[in-house]
Amino acid sequence: MSQYQDLKQACYEANMQLPKLGLVLFTFGNASVVDRDKGVFAIKPSGVPYDTLRPEDIVIVDFDANTVEGSGRPSSDTKTHAVLFRHWPEIGGIVHTHSTYATAWAQAQLDIPILGTTHADHLTADVPCAPPMEDAMIAGNYEHQTGWQIINEFEKRGLSPKEVEMVLLSNHAPFTWGKTVEKAVYNSAVLEEVARMAYLSCTLRPDVPRLKQALIQKHYERKHGANSYYGQR
Count of C-beta atoms within a 10 Å radius of residue 196: 16
pTM of the model: 0.96
Please report the beta strands in the chain, taking only residues with DSSP state E, as ranges in sequence order. Answer: 29-35, 40-43, 59-62, 67-69, 93-97, 129-130, 166-169, 174-178
Instruction: Output the pLDDT for position 233.
Output: 77
Question: Which residues make Cβ contacts (< 8 Å) with residue 126, sequence separation at least 6?
Answer: 111, 112, 113, 114
The span from the CA of 208 to the CA of 204, in Å, is 8
Domain borders along the chain are 5-224
Q: pLDDT tens digits for 14-69? A: 999 999 999 999 999 999 999 999 999 999 999 999 999 999 999 999 999 999 99
Residue 141 has pLDDT above 80, yes or no: yes
Q: Confidence class of residue 2 from pLDDT cuts 50, 70 and 90?
A: confident
CATH topology of domain 5-224: L-fuculose-1-phosphate Aldolase (3.40.225)
121 counts as catalytic: yes
The span from the CA of 163 to the CA of 145, in Å, is 23
Q: pLDDT tens digits for 200-232? A: 999 999 999 999 999 999 999 998 888 999 988
- Name the active-site residue from 35, 57, 121, 126: 121
- Reported as half-sphere exposure (CB side, CA atoms, 13 A), residue 12 has a value of 15
Residue 1 has pLDDT above 80, yes or no: no
Element (H, E) at 181: helix 181-204
Instruction: Output the pLDDT for position 212.
Output: 96
Instruction: Output the pLDDT for position 130.
Output: 98
CB of 154 within 8 A of CB of 167?
yes
Q: pLDDT tens digits for 164-211? A: 999 999 999 999 999 999 999 999 999 999 999 999 999 999 999 999
Q: pLDDT tens digits for 113-137? A: 999 999 999 999 999 999 999 999 9
